[in-house]
Amino acid sequence: MREKIVLIDGHSILNRAFYGVPDLTNSEGLHTNAIYGFLNILFKILDEEKPQYLTVTFDVHAPTFRHEMYAEYKGTRKPMVEELRQQVPVIKEVLQAMDIEIIEQAGLEADDLLGTISRTCEEKGLDVAIISGDRDTLQLATEHVKIRIPKTKQGRTEVEDYYAADVKEKYGVTPTEFIDVKALMGDASDNIPGVPGVGEKTATKIITEYGSIENAYAHAAEIKPPRASKNIQEYWDQACLSKTLATINTHAEIAFDLDAAKHGNPYTKEAHDYFQRLQFKNLLSRFDVETSENEVEAFFHEITEKKEAEKIFEEAGKSETLGAALTEDNGNVLPLFAHPSGYGRLTIAYGKSKVYSIPCGPDMEMDYLFGKLCELAGKVKHFSMFDLKKYLTVVPDAKPENSFDVTVAAYLLNPLKNDYDYEDVAREQLNLMIDEKAEPMVKACYEAYTAYAATGILKEKMQKQGMYHLFTDIEMPLVFTLYDMEQAGIKVEAEALKFYGEQLGGRIVELEKEIYEEAGETFNINSPKQLGVVLFDHMQLPNGKKTKTGYSTAADVLDKLAPDYPIVAKILEYRQLSKLKSTYADGLAVYIGPDGRIHGKFNQTITATGRISSTEPNLQNIPVRMELGRLIRKVFVPKEGCVFIDADYSQIELRILAHCSGDEQLIQAYKEARDIHRMTASQVFHTPFDEVTDLQRRNAKAVNFGIVYGISSFGLSQDLSITRKEAAQYIENYFETYPGIKRFLDDTVAHAKEEGYVVTLFGRRRPVPELKSSNFMQRNFGERVAMNAPIQGSAADIMKIAMIGVNQELKEKGLKSKLILQVHDELLIEAYEDEVEEVKEILKRQMEEAADLDVPLIVDMHTGENWYEAK
DNA sequence: TTACAGCGG
DNA sequence: GAAGACCGCTGTAAC
């Protein structure tokens, strides 16, 4: 049996992986797609080859050139893009951690390293497999040297294998002749000039016939296409240079030690740590044999004796930090003891070796365990759980002052992630991997333990970043406020909603018929694809924009066609109505509970900017702009004896911008309660204040919005249907009028580029990794985000403060009125008729005094018998 | 699951 | 010269 060595062309494979694997980023913002793809290929090769030796070669500094003189003559190659460049040192560290030999030698190309090592090993009697994405290496193939070229096709890597015979079969020439083919045809990517007028076909034909360029030159007169014949003679020097350039040096002076390349066990502890940091979950499974024994798991205990449990609760009550988890699994106790809440097990952790999981049972029913947890929640300094809001219904004694929601803390530290599960936090903060297939009891223990162990770490990180006050004073109290709001819910008239839906349905059927008639065919109007075909192919309407998959049928496109084509107007109406029916009429109805109310969810750990989001259903996008949609709000009603009070901030984001930028003019204007949009119009369009037209004011309003969104001339031109040039002029005028704003936005972007994040008035951070991207579009996006996030985020902070204040004061004063909805800059209260005046005073004061800015915060309020009237 | 469309701030 | 307003959620079609 011959021994085998695998040689990997590091940069070439990394490059392949980079372009073959979609962009991945770990939670630190490090790009990892090339590393991930590289490791996938590496493991695949190792599984297949099972080599005794393994080496990865790298160029010392990429890009380098085989022949410097030529590189200088031809100019330089493009520099490596940043996203790939940053991954190069990391893959080297990972390989080192896996005990894999890396060879790099200054002045030598990877090809020359591969060629030389390959030849040496073959002479020593080894089989060689060279892994490279570069077809140049095919010249190295022999009977014992196999060239393997990986290809990534739709997420799967397939490998093409070439021994010498395979090269001959596929290319019609031997590996040695392959060099001569290349010398003739050239290679632009390698800066090999070749012979003009000779492409792949001709080159192969010539070399198949004559074997080498030297022999071809000797018989130049006979060569078939006259152009090739002439050019080989005329460009003979260039052909020779090309051959030198194309030839891989197999006798380079390098120190290669076969013993050092011995391939051992790559699944080391260090490698495991790297894989965790890089968040390669599925690659980590390769380590499971080696790392399954985990120190913390040894301390996980299941407790079924009540006496023992009571001792533990007593001890736990004296601890400083208590992590807790409530889970559904009850260890299969009799259904008799199943609790209506669905929970069957309490797990607590209050020390590294103090992790106890207690299933409910005859002795300890779930209500008993809830009671104990409540007691503990009142005693310890940090009562820590994941997603605390979810459990407040069974742990009503928890208080904002000493509660620690791990999910919320993890969100504050990085609001860009999708999940903040205990698995994620354990991995990121504690460097702990949790087996997905673990027993429910073990998982519960991990959840409680992670809550316990991560609390101190997260707290310290928040303190370091100046966010701990945001956490304790805003986010934690808000958990409880949102819980109250969800519990309260909002009353919806189911009958009226149904009637509204039926009305829409009737009109939709009519429109459908008319549309089919005018189109001369039936089709699915809800399918943008089918609609595009009907309108722009069959009916030959002038088509504007296109999307990836076909014609755009978006409203702004159809709007332009509507005046000329009745069918388009009908489609627009159809779209509007079916949206209202499916999303709102039918969509909302399914959420009405037995109490006649909708209890939607308010999510605190979703948005990148700090806003709250609303789901199941989304109550933050109920129609209001169009009258027909707005009517839906009539079905949202206060309960018997109550009215709605709706309060919304007037232009809160622009006011925050005025405050943050310190722009004198804008601040003064707000202090004098002037019409900001009119004033902006007057300045930007050089028109006396009193002579500003409605159109000018509308445009100025759009500019003001644009500024908040991180203005661009393109975006503004789209919004206003004007040219880019005009939009750019507006913006220029705007910045001349308000130089403070220009300065503020520039400073904010500069800070973001420097630090990698932006920050709100109350210390909330948003990382902006896009600013480091090499992609123009991404970087521009990063700049807009940097300008917008502090403004939108500060507004969110202020609203949260107001919500907490309103909710608390209502409770403290013993009022029965309740805060029930938040829509970003608007609060809705269900107020008892005899409390209305007092509640209005509280609302206005709490909202307007939530923050002390250099400009006044103004709140507008309305009352009504339903949401339509109150808004 | 992804793309498109459309509702809100 | 590129492709774009910022932040969300839901429903439908089509893969």
Q: What is the CA A621 to C1' B8 distance in angstroms?
A: 4
User: Which residue minimizes Cα–C1' distance to C1?
Assistant: A776
Mean pLDDT in residue range A371-394: 98
Judged by DSSP in three states, A323 sits in: strand
What is the DSSP track for A653-695?
HHHHHHHHHT-HHHHHHHHTT--HHHHHHHHHTT--GGG--HH
pLDDT tens-place string over residues A455-503: 999 999 999 999 999 999 999 999 999 999 999 999 999 999 999 999 9
Query: What integer pLDDT is reported at residue A200 of this predicted model?
Result: 81
Domains of chain A as residue ranges with CATH:
1-172+255-285 (3.40.50.1010), 173-248 (1.10.150.20), 296-464 (3.30.420.10)
Query: What integer pLDDT is reported at residue A292 of this predicted model?
Result: 44
If one compares A774 and A725, the residue with the highest pLDDT of the two is: A725
Query: A709 beta carbon < 7 A from strand C?
Result: yes
Kindly tell me if the per-residue pLDDT of A227 is higher than 70.
yes
Query: What integer pLDDT is reported at residue A333 of this predicted model?
Result: 61
pLDDT tens-place string over residues A284-294: 878 765 444 56
> Which ranges of A4-85 does DSSP label H, i.e. alpha helix?
10-20, 33-49, 68-74, 82-85
Note the strand B nucleotides within 7 A of protein beta carbons. Answer: 3-9
What's the burial of A413, exposed, middle or buried (CB within 10 Å: 0-12/13-18/19+)? buried
Least confident of A52-66, A431-445, A695-709, A820-834: A52-66
Kindly tell me if the per-residue pLDDT of A61 is higher than 60.
no
Query: A621 beta carbon < 7 A from strand B?
Result: yes
| CA A787/CA A774 separation, integer angstroms | 19
Q: What is the CA A93 to C1' B3 distance in angstroms?
A: 39
Chain A residues 620 to 659 whose Cβ lies within 7 Å of strand C are: 620-621
| CA A658/CA A670 separation, integer angstroms | 8
Query: What integer pLDDT is reported at residue A262 of this predicted model?
Result: 93
Q: Under a CB-based contact definition with an 8 Å cutoff, are residues A96 and A235 in contact?
A: no
Least confident of A459-473, A545-559, A798-812: A545-559
Query: What integer pLDDT is reported at residue A655 of this predicted model?
Result: 96
Q: What is the CA A350 to C1' B1 distance in angstroms?
A: 41
| CA A819/CA A808 separation, integer angstroms | 10
Query: What integer pLDDT is reported at residue A495 of this predicted model?
Result: 96
Query: What integer pLDDT is reported at residue A68 of this predicted model?
Result: 32
Q: What is the CA A634 to C1' B2 distance in angstroms?
A: 35
Confidence class for position A276, pLDDT limits 50, 70, 90:
confident
Q: What is the CA A687 to C1' B1 distance in angstroms?
A: 53
Kindly tell me if the per-residue pLDDT of A706 is higher than 80.
yes
Closest nucleotide to A719, Cα to C1': C5
Backbone angles phi, psi at A433, to 5 degrees: -100, 135
Query: A428 beta carbon < 7 A from strand B?
Result: no
What is the DSSP track for A463-493?
HHTT-HHIIIIIIHHHHHHHHHHHHH-EEE-
Query: A750 beta carbon < 7 A from strand B?
Result: no
pLDDT tens-place string over residues A106-163: 778 888 899 999 999 999 999 999 999 888 899 999 999 999 998 765 556 778 899 9
What residues have CB less than 8 Å from A639, skipping those under 6 apart?
Answer: A491, A830
Query: A780 beta carbon < 7 A from strand C?
Result: yes
User: Which residue minimizes Cα–C1' distance to C13?
Assistant: A527
Closest nucleotide to A526, Cα to C1': C12
User: Which residue minimizes Cα–C1' distance to B9?
Assistant: A824
Q: What is the CA A620 to C1' B8 distance in angstroms?
A: 6
Kindly tell me if the per-residue pLDDT of A67 is higher than 70.
no
Chain A residues 196 to 225 whose Cβ lies within 7 Å of strand B are: none
Query: What integer pLDDT is reported at residue A152 of this predicted model?
Result: 64
Q: What is the CA A504 to C1' C4 distance in angstroms?
A: 36
User: Which residue minimizes Cα–C1' distance to C11?
Assistant: A583
Note the strand C nucleotides within 7 A of protein beta carbons. Answer: 1-14
| CA A184/CA A195 separation, integer angstroms | 5
Query: What integer pLDDT is reported at residue A294 of this predicted model?
Result: 65
pLDDT tens-place string over residues A260-270: 999 988 988 88
Query: What integer pLDDT is reported at residue A63 of this predicted model?
Result: 43
| CA A497/CA A585 separation, integer angstroms | 6
Q: What is the CA A784 to C1' C6 distance in angstroms?
A: 8
| CA A829/CA A870 separation, integer angstroms | 10
